[in-house]
């Protein structure tokens, strides 16, 4: 994963809230993000670099207050990093292209993948012009 850009680069391009979540691994409060309850067709792109991360068809209602997906748009789009913070063992998910913090992945998804990619709305942008297919 490429993290060639420094903090000043990202501070100039992101709001303070986006910077905190995307570059400092923060978390937005549940049920407050832009996409937690949105089910329009399109592609979810990394807020930082624009890389396609998730398709709208993989999104499901997890009742957790964050956008949840059962699979990444293409293999390798999302990187995984062990996260032992807050006294828990979790798996952090990041944009494989730029290292943007997305959220965490959990093995409790309701579909055949068994995964729940739990993502901060501040880490992604919905591209409705793409129609749900990687272009």
125 occurs within a structural domain: yes
Q: What is the pLDDT of residues 32-58, one digit of tens each?
A: 999 999 999 999 999 999 999 999 999
Annotated active-site residue 22? The verdict is: no
Question: What is the mean pLDDT of the segment spanning 59-85?
Answer: 94
- Domain harbouring 40, CATH code: 2.170.150.20
Q: Which one is catalytic: 22, 46, 48, 118? A: 118
What is the structure's pLDDT at 133?
54
For the entire predicted model, the pTM comes to: 0.90
Question: What is the mean pLDDT of the segment spanning 113-121?
Answer: 97
135 occurs within a structural domain: no
> How many structural domains does the chain have?
1
Domain that holds residue 67: 7-130
DSSP string, the chain: ----S-HHHHHHHS-HHHHHHHHH---PPTT-STTTT---SSEEEETTT--EEEEGGGEE--SSSS-EESS-SSTTSEEEEEE-GGG--EEEEEETTT--EEEEEES--SSTT--EEEE-GGGEEEEGGGTTS--
111 occurs within a structural domain: yes
2 occurs within a structural domain: no
């Amino acid at each position: 994963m490429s993290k060639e850009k420094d903090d000043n680069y990202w501070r100039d391009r992101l709001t303070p809230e986006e910077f905190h979540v995307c570059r400092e691994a923060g978390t937005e409060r549940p049920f407050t993000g832009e996409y937690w309850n949105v089910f329009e067709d399109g592609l979810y792109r990394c807020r930082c670099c624009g890389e396609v991360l998730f398709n709208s068809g993989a999104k499901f209602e997890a009742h957790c207050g964050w956008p949840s997906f059962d699979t990444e748009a293409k293999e390798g789009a999302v990187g995984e990093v062990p996260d032992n913070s807050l006294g828990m063992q979790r798996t952090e998910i990041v944009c494989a292209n730029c290292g943007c913090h997305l959220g965490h992945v959990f093995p409790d998804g309701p579909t055949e993948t068994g995964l729940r990619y739990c993502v901060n709305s501040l880490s992604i942008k919905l591209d409705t012009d793409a129609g749900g297919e990687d272009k």
